[in-house]
């Protein structure tokens, strides 16, 4: 427990939407400071450029578009659905010399890093993001993610699928796409989640996130959208203002590769519904970084214990705070002490939940 000090002075009754407090994230084993009384502070800081809404459907200069020649001379096929290619500027190569082993040195440790990086285009049209695709098209994206996980997961212990969307998140290309980085090592984030889920399972004999989702379904305070098999909610311990987790709500699933056809359809639906609400929040193409986490792969595919405690889930981290142009900075206190938020997770969930289910661009066409 973080030392909260004795609360000797409090005379008012605690109200989570009014009074500052700290919340625990059991998945990462860390705390977040919630300061709801600060939501009304004026903003005179940096303003982002609004996302570009007038994108061409096809740009012959964009290396992610169909039929375009990439700078390395390769010509993209005239793809009609998803398209995956090896990243031309990969952070991880499959064959590279390893540093000398220095496990005994407590101060200067290093290790081998090998892997593969791919780029996956979601759709042939640059102006069509996930919420604007048909359900069949989103389902094709889900299927392709699973195919990539199956293939890369045979060899690599961790396959990270992630989407960086919008220039605010450092995304270099507006074409709808994600990246897939597979590595010979378990990166920090999944390693922390692996250990915390394992410890919880050892102590209680149930998977942490299935227990968590059951409690959230009872409370109904932080739910944004639900489909047959999935729930998208703002976690109790969210750090980003409109952070969302996508969790299985009926059946314990450890890996994305374990999904049934119906669960895949239902996942496509929750992705479409959530991203529609995101875009509707500030009537813009909502930026975020998102990705999927499930039980490790490669040499850990046979780890039956990990399949008992890992719960497959999605994480959405959007930076926007109060408009299409004002983002939350994770700086100062966050870098030096711990994450802090103003808006409560319950307020964020209510704002998203109350938005229309129809995308603002499609609503104007009705
Ligand atoms: P981001 O927009 O999320 O940065 O991803 C684009 C990726 O596409 C990036 O990793 C790759 C970049 O290396 N890329 C290619 O592999 N080939 C190209 O011709 C352009 C971009």
- The 10s digit of each residue's pLDDT in 302-341 is 999 999 999 999 999 999 988 888 899 999 999 999 999 9
Q: Which of 120, 116, 115 is nearest to 143 (CA)?
A: 120
Cβ neighbours, 10 Å, residue 134: 12
In whole angstroms, how far apart are CA 58 and each of 136, 167, 175? 21, 19, 9
The structural domains of the chain, with segments of one domain joined by +, span 189-357
* Segment 252-287, tens digit of pLDDT: 999 999 999 999 999 999 999 999 999 999 999 999
Higher pLDDT, 293 or 322: 293
Which residues, including other chains, have CB under 8 Å from residue 37's CB and lie 6 or more apart? 18, 19, 20
In short, whether 88's Cβ falls inside 6 Å of ligand 1 is yes
In short, whether 289's Cβ falls inside 6 Å of ligand 1 is no
Q: How far from each other are the two terminal CA atoms of the chain, in whole angstroms?
A: 53
In angstroms, what is the span from residue 72 Cα to ligand 1's centroid? 12
In short, whether 164's Cβ falls inside 6 Å of ligand 1 is yes
Residue 29 region, left (φ>0) first, then alpha (ψ -120 to 50), else beta?
Answer: left
CATH 3.30.70.1450 fits 189-357, yes or no: no
In short, whether 285's Cβ falls inside 6 Å of ligand 1 is no
In angstroms, what is the span from residue 130 Cα to ligand 1's centroid? 18
Q: Which residue has the tokens 């990705």?
A: 291
Q: What are phi and psi of 275, to 5 degrees?
A: -70, -25
The β-bridge partners of 34 are 21, 341
pLDDT in the model for residue 52: 64
Half-sphere exposure of 328 (CA within 13 A, CB side): 22
Q: Of these residues, 123, 125, 177, 313, which one is catalytic?
A: 177
In angstroms, what is the span from residue 355 Cα to ligand 1's centroid? 33
Q: What are phi and psi of 83, to 5 degrees?
A: -150, 125
Half-sphere exposure of 237 (CA within 13 A, CB side): 14
pLDDT in the model for residue 300: 97
In short, whether 172's Cβ falls inside 6 Å of ligand 1 is yes
Which residues, including other chains, have CB under 8 Å from residue 107's CB and lie 6 or more apart? none
Contacts 24+ apart (CB under 8 A), 40-46: 41/342, 43/322, 43/326, 45/326, 45/329, 46/327, 46/329
* Segment 102-146, tens digit of pLDDT: 778 899 999 999 999 999 999 999 999 999 999 999 999 999 999
In short, whether 70's Cβ falls inside 6 Å of ligand 1 is yes
Q: From the alpha carbon of 178, which atom of ligand 1 is closest?
A: 3
For residues 105 and 102, give the distance between their C-alpha atoms in angstroms, rounded to a whole number.
6
pTM comes to 0.95
User: Ligand 1 test: best mutation among 169, 179, 285, most atoms within 8 Å of CB?
Assistant: 179
Q: Which of 180, 147, 150, 151 is nearest to 163 (CA)?
A: 180
- pLDDT confidence bin for 213, thresholds 50/70/90: very high
CB contact at 8 A, 222 and 231: no
For residue 177, indicate whether it is catalytic: yes
In angstroms, what is the span from residue 87 Cα to ligand 1's centroid? 6
In angstroms, what is the span from residue 171 Cα to ligand 1's centroid? 9
For residues 186 and 182, give the distance between their C-alpha atoms in angstroms, rounded to a whole number.
10
* Chain-centroid distance, C-alpha 69: 31
């Amino acid at each position: 427990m973080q030392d909260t000090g004795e609360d000797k002075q409090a005379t008012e009754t605690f109200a989570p939407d009014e009074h500052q407090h700290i919340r625990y994230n059991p998945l990462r084993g860390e705390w977040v400071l919630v300061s709801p009384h600060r939501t009304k502070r004026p903003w005179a800081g940096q303003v982002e450029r609004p996302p570009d809404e007038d994108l061409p459907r096809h740009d012959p200069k964009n290396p992610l578009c169909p039929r375009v020649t990439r700078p390395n001379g390769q010509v993209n096929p005239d793809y009609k659905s998803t398209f995956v290619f090896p990243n031309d500027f990969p952070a991880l190569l499959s064959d590279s010399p390893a540093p000398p082993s220095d496990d005994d040195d407590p101060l200067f440790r290093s290790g081998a890093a090998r892997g593969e990086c791919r780029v996956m285009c979601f759709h042939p049209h640059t102006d069509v993001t996930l919420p604007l695709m048909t359900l069949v098209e989103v389902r094709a994206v889900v299927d392709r993610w699973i195919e990539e996980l199956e293939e890369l997961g045979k060899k690599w212990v961790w396959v990270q699928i992630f989407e960086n969307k919008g220039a605010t998140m450092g995304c270099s290309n507006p074409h709808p796409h994600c990246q897939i980085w597979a590595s010979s090592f378990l990166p920090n984030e999944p390693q922390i989640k692996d250990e915390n889920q394992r410890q919880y399972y050892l102590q209680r004999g149930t998977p942490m996130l299935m227990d968590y989702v059951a409690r959230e379904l009872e409370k109904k305070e932080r739910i944004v959208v639900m489909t047959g098999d999935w729930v998208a909610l703002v976690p109790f311990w969210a750090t980003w203002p409109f952070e969302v987790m996508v969790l299985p709500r009926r059946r314990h699933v450890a890996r994305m590769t374990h999904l049934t056809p119906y669960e895949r359809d239902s996942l496509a639906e929750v992705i479409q519904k959530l991203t529609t609400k995101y875009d509707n929040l500030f009537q813009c193409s909502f930026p975020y970084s998102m990705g999927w986490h499930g039980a490790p792969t490669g040499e850990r595919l046979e780890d039956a214990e990990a399949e008992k405690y890992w719960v497959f889930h999605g994480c959405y981290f959007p930076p926007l705070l109060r408009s299409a142009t004002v983002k939350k900075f994770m700086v100062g206190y966050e870098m030096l002490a711990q994450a802090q938020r103003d808006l409560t997770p319950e307020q964020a969930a209510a704002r998203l939940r109350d938005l229309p289910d129809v995308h603002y661009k499609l609503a104007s066409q009705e």
